Structure 1
Amino acid sequence: MQGKPSKNVFTVLFLFLMGALLVFSGCEKEKEVVKTVEVVIHDTVFVQIISVDSIYASPDSIAQGGSITLTAEASSMAGTGPLTFQWFAEAGTLDKPEGDTVTWKAPDDPGVYRITVHVTDGENIGIGSRMIGVGMYVPTSSPYYLGADACQQCHQEKGDEWAMTGHAHAWQTLQESGHAQSYCFPCHSVGYDPTPMSGNSGYDEAPIAKFENVQCENCHGPGSEHVGSGVPDPSKISISFDAELCGSCHNGEHHPYFDEWSSSPHAFDPNAEFPTAIPSCQGCHEGVAASIRLANESAEYPLNVFYGGGAISERPDTSEVGLKPHTCQTCHDPHSDENPGQVRTVADVVLVTANNESPVITEGGVGKLCMQCHHARRAPEPQIADGYAHFGPHANPQADMMAGKSAYHGVAPPNFPWAGPSHLLVQNSCKTCHLNMVEYGGPGVPAITGHTFEPTPEACQNCHGTITDFDDIMALDDFDGDGVVEGVQSEVQGLMDLLATALVDSFLARGVDTTGLGIDGVLGDTTLSTYKEREAGYNWVFILDDKSKGIHNPDYAIQLLQQSYQYFTGQPVPNAAIVREENAVVGNF
């Protein structure tokens, strides 16, 4: 027999119905929330049901009146219907209002404009937008470029120097060249990168004035993070001594500076080269220290201070800046056009005190930059008296040879008329002969920049006529006594051979063998060599280390060898014309 439902049953049923009502009511409210709450990620806005994942623009910065293509990508939760796209622009015109891809024509006024797309399945909606810069720059990734004006807020002095360089006019130079192409833009402006989906931190269309020319950020990288916190952070900006930085633009057939440098002696491996890690040698033998020394010539830091002092003491620790070869930045100042070719210095060159003289080279133009390292640096007298493990000048006495200084003059009578400067009197000296430049000759005929630093006979032709070899520069007479008038280099080599034979014969007569030591090794050891051998031998090593076989100063080279031979053997070079005055050696000049 069924009884009436108890009061408790009605109570439970009532509570159940109320709970269900609350649950369904909550779901409906949750659904409403899903349709209205927006989540912002970068410049994309999406709702939970339909997401506008990206709006791709090509390019992302355009000129006034230009056109740009926009493509939206969207996704939806399973179970929704097909998606449709509707576009809106706050200015300018769209070629059509619907579709996942549209073209927008920008207005004539510069500014930043928002393009919006609504994506719907008929019930739910997703909204996305993209900011487009017109006639200006809108970065889409970080770090991004600021332009030179921003850098000069703090670095005004450097900015003023830069404004006088060719880099500051690179865009104008390109436009006036008559062959400007878009592939030229990256090396004539800041941040140009038209690569699709590049995450543009620069720009991808040319007419943005603030990024024209080669500016600070071409070399130092985007500056946004450097100043992003309001306090400049030095760790967020790049300072590079790598040749590859300059070589990214200064290469190729038109201007192969980097390509040529890469095969030059200056492009040595700094971790394999002996002197680079020794602080007392770094002022010439390591790229960073040398750049600091050359850039900071002053009364406090004279350029002739090499050994562990002077400006090279300011070099950052190698844990911060590794050892470098002689890169572009060693010789060239990226910021200043004060000197021709933006070289770091054309200061006078102080040579070593020798023969009771303290010579200073004042001629030579741009070549004086090279001479700051390429000179004897060590005097002959102390080595002749006491010997020296590295007997002779400091490896490369080219400046001394050209000046007619710093060899050992004690082999000649007092008041002997030593020859004076030779190629120092050529405009720009070293640069003229060792960096002979040839313009681009068309496809397959690259320009020559001279940055192998190897001299070419063509560089000599303005003075010495049509020659194809340096030994085509003929001597005026037979200076080595072999009965033949030869080229200057052959005459000098003949004299070198005569003096070397005399020295070795003297060594052997005392039972000293040069095997394994070489002539210079024996000369540097006072237990193996005599004082007189060291006197004559110093000049032999001096000319050997000059490496030009007399070309740098033919008169001085032949005088040194002839006088050394006569002093050592007691007789003049047999059958030779003896040089006792200047301009007596070279014929076709």
Structure 2
Amino acid sequence: PHGNEAPEVNLSAELCGNCHTDSHHPTIDEWNEYESEDFDSETEASHSEPTESYAKSEGCVACKSTDGAIKNLEKSGVFNLNEEELPSPDVVKEWRITCVACHEPHAAELRVEDESKLCGNCHNSEMEKLEPDGETTTVHHSQWGMYKDSDWTTGRGHPQLGCPNCHMATRSIDEEAGIPANTGHTFDVNAELLGSEYLTGEVKCENCHQDLATTIEEKQAIVEEKISSIESLKEEATSAIKAENNSELVSTYNNGLFYLSFVEHDASTGIHNFSKTISTLQKSYSMLHQAKNGAEKLTLQSELSDKEDKVSNLQSELSDKEDKVSNLQSEVSSLQSDVSNLKSKLKDKYGLPSVIGALVIGLIVGAVAVWLSKRESE
């Protein structure tokens, strides 16, 4: 009945939004609030448009495209696509993340039963596999690695909470008050809603936290202060490392950046896992401090070595000059001896007898002159 042409596949959020809109089902309206800087208004797809190289990368395309995300969810692990399963770059660019990446459109349900796994399938740096290697300095989308071992998931002190409990909190239906049935597709944590009487489900934060917003802000302020301190240390360490470029210290420095990036790219500022956030930041600080001190020590040792070389050179020059002074003194002494000898010779040769002889000769010459003078006068 449809001829030889296959039906056109439409993965756009706009198609779903034809029904899931307005006050009672504001899903598409909230999704539009969530749009990124590169939001595609024609397909209402979010996430930035991947470059050609990213579109061919199994680690990127699995979360940068709806088709890739669907294929990856069918796998048992994370980022397990092989080359044959990768969607073409054109498809990746046309269908970025839309509704059907998470929702099965025909069954009208999520593609996996575990809601947090659905989120963690992309918001995952695979931290259990990714360890500091001395080279990696940036850890992307580390939310699941930070969150999965937290008190939220173990039930210690809190009911076991998944990502949607906070990021997709749902209000109860109250049509007269204009309260919608399903909310949360902005994915923003709404502290006011989490403490609201309209919050559905067993988890009601207001039962224990009278001012949830303040509680969150206080925790985040502690983390922000530590991050600020590390950023300052990072600048100092960067300058110190550049001055030395020691491979071992560079490796330690990179590992410090790795842990800092893991916290920063979690983007919860400690809320996903406060204790792990603090311990990870402590690792970052310790490694950056170690790298900075190590580099500064090498710089000081280098300066000390230069100074010692200069002292050694000056001492050598001084020794040479002292030798020259000694030689000059010897020459002076020799010259003084020669002068003394010459004086002695002069005295011996032209001393008193010679003077007397000269006087006698003078008298004789004078007498002769007188005699001659008298003779001429006669």
| 1:431 partner SS | helix
Is the contact between residue 50 and residue 93 of structure 2 (CA under 8 Å) also seen in structure 1? Answer: no
Match of 2:318 in 1: none
Provide the rounded CA distance (Å) in 2 between the counterparts of 1:321 and 1:565: 39
Give the Å deviation of 1:546: 0.4
Choose from 168, 182, 186 the match for 1:452.
186
Classify 1:265/1:542 alpha carbon distance in 2 versus 1 (closer, same or farther; 3 Å): farther
Match of 1:291 in 2: 70
Provide the rounded CA distance (Å) in 1 between the counterparts of 2:92 and 2:237: 50
Instruction: Name the structure where helix makes up a greater proportion of residues.
Output: 2
Uncovered stretches (5+) of structure 1, i.e. residues with no partner: 1-224, 347-364, 404-419, 475-486, 513-524, 571-589
Counting only pairs closer than 5 Å after superposition, residues 288-367 of structure 1 correspond to structure 2 as: 288-294=67-73, 296-297=74-75, 302-306=76-80, 308-309=82-83, 312-313=85-86, 315=87, 317=88, 323-336=94-107, 342-346=109-113, 365-367=114-116
Counting only pairs closer than 5 Å after superposition, residues 219-234 of structure 1 correspond to structure 2 as: 225-226=1-2, 233-234=4-5
Match of 2:30 in 1: 260
Give the Å deviation of 1:562: 2.5
Is the contact between residue 380 and residue 538 of structure 1 (CA under 8 Å) also seen in structure 2? Answer: no
**Structure 2 residue 233 is the aligned partner of structure 1 residue 502:** yes
Give the Å deviation of 1:535: 2.3
CA displacement 1:210-265 (0-9 Å, x = unmatched): xxxxxxxxxxxxxxx42xx6xxx342x34310111111111111011111111214
| 2:265 partner SS | helix
Uncovered stretches (5+) of structure 2, i.e. residues with no partner: 196-203, 291-378
Give the Å deviation of 1:318: 5.8
- Partner amino acid for 2:225? G
Is the contact between residue 166 and residue 189 of structure 2 (CA under 8 Å) also seen in structure 1? Answer: yes
Classify 1:239/1:568 alpha carbon distance in 2 versus 1 (closer, same or farther; 3 Å): closer
Match of 1:555 in 2: 275
Give the Å deviation of 1:402: 1.0
**Structure 2 residue 152 is the aligned partner of structure 1 residue 423:** yes
Choose from 185, 193, 209 the match for 1:465.
209
**Structure 2 residue 252 is the aligned partner of structure 1 residue 532:** yes
Provide the rounded CA distance (Å) in 2 between the counterparts of 1:567 and 1:466: 39
Counting only pairs closer than 5 Å after superposition, residues 101-500 of structure 1 correspond to structure 2 as: 225-226=1-2, 233-235=4-6, 237-265=7-35, 268-269=39-40, 273-275=49-51, 278-280=55-57, 281-294=60-73, 296-297=74-75, 302-306=76-80, 308-309=82-83, 312-313=85-86, 315=87, 317=88, 323-336=94-107, 342-346=109-113, 365-377=114-126, 379-381=129-131, 384-385=133-134, 387-388=135-136, 391-393=137-139, 395-403=140-148, 420-425=149-154, 426-427=159-160, 429-442=162-175, 445-447=178-180, 449-458=183-192, 460-461=194-195, 462-463=204-205, 464-467=208-211, 469=213, 471-473=214-216, 487-500=218-231
Is the contact between residue 237 and residue 289 of structure 2 (CA under 8 Å) also seen in structure 1? Answer: no
Classify 1:253/1:537 alpha carbon distance in 2 versus 1 (closer, same or farther; 3 Å): same
Classify 1:468/1:321 alpha carbon distance in 2 versus 1 (closer, same or farther; 3 Å): closer
Classify 1:435/1:526 alpha carbon distance in 2 versus 1 (closer, same or farther; 3 Å): farther
Classify 1:526/1:258 alpha carbon distance in 2 versus 1 (closer, same or farther; 3 Å): farther
Give the Å deviation of 1:400: 0.4
Is the contact between residue 27 and residue 185 of structure 2 (CA under 8 Å) also seen in structure 1? Answer: yes
Is the contact between residue 366 and residue 431 of structure 1 (CA under 8 Å) also seen in structure 2? Answer: yes
Provide the rounded CA distance (Å) in 1 between the counterparts of 2:91 and 2:240: 55
Provide the rounded CA distance (Å) in 2 between the counterparts of 1:322 and 1:563: 39
Give the Å deviation of 1:511: 4.9
Provide the rounded CA distance (Å) in 2 between the counterparts of 1:546 and 1:253: 32
Classify 1:322/1:557 alpha carbon distance in 2 versus 1 (closer, same or farther; 3 Å): closer
- Partner amino acid for 2:50? F
Provide the rounded CA distance (Å) in 2 between the counterparts of 1:566 and 1:530: 14
Is the contact between residue 401 and residue 552 of structure 1 (CA under 8 Å) also seen in structure 2? Answer: yes
Provide the rounded CA distance (Å) in 2 between the counterparts of 1:536 and 1:321: 34
CA displacement 1:444-498 (0-9 Å, x = unmatched): 73525100111111454423523352x5247xxxxxxxxxxxx111111111122
Provide the rounded CA distance (Å) in 1 between the counterparts of 2:162 and 2:211: 19
| 1:536 partner SS | helix
Give the Å deviation of 1:565: 2.6
Is the contact between residue 209 and residue 215 of structure 2 (CA under 8 Å) also seen in structure 1? Answer: no
- Partner amino acid for 1:375? N
Give the Å deviation of 1:530: 1.5
Counting only pairs closer than 5 Å after superposition, residues 4-23 of structure 1 correspond to structure 2 as: none
Provide the rounded CA distance (Å) in 1 between the counterparts of 2:153 and 2:147: 6
Match of 1:12 in 2: none
Classify 1:460/1:530 alpha carbon distance in 2 versus 1 (closer, same or farther; 3 Å): farther
Determine which structure has greater relative contact order: mean sequence separation of CA pairs < 8 Å that are 6+ residues apart, divided by chain length.
Answer: 2
Provide the rounded CA distance (Å) in 1 between the counterparts of 2:51 and 2:177: 39
| 1:530 partner SS | helix
Match of 1:127 in 2: none
Give the Å deviation of 1:319: 5.8
Is the contact between residue 227 and residue 281 of structure 2 (CA under 8 Å) also seen in structure 1? Answer: yes
Give the Å deviation of 1:290: 1.2
**Structure 2 residue 275 is the aligned partner of structure 1 residue 545:** no
Provide the rounded CA distance (Å) in 1 between the counterparts of 2:247 and 2:106: 53
Give the Å deviation of 1:442: 3.8
Provide the rounded CA distance (Å) in 2 between the counterparts of 1:239 and 1:501: 51
Give the Å deviation of 1:334: 1.7
Classify 1:529/1:452 alpha carbon distance in 2 versus 1 (closer, same or farther; 3 Å): farther
Match of 2:345 in 1: none
Counting only pairs closer than 5 Å after superposition, residues 13-52 of structure 1 correspond to structure 2 as: none
Give the Å deviation of 1:540: 0.9
Provide the rounded CA distance (Å) in 1 between the counterparts of 2:251 and 2:170: 46
Is the contact between residue 251 and residue 258 of structure 1 (CA under 8 Å) also seen in structure 2? Answer: yes
Provide the rounded CA distance (Å) in 1 between the counterparts of 2:192 and 2:264: 24
Provide the rounded CA distance (Å) in 2 between the counterparts of 1:284 and 1:422: 27
Give the Å deviation of 1:306: 4.4
Give the Å deviation of 1:397: 0.6
- Partner amino acid for 2:138? G
Alignment size in residue pairs: 264
Give the Å deviation of 1:550: 0.4
Divergent runs of 4+, >6 A = 525-529
- Partner amino acid for 1:343? L
Provide the rounded CA distance (Å) in 2 between the counterparts of 1:460 and 1:320: 38
Instruction: Name the structure where strand makes up a greater proportion of residues.
Output: 1
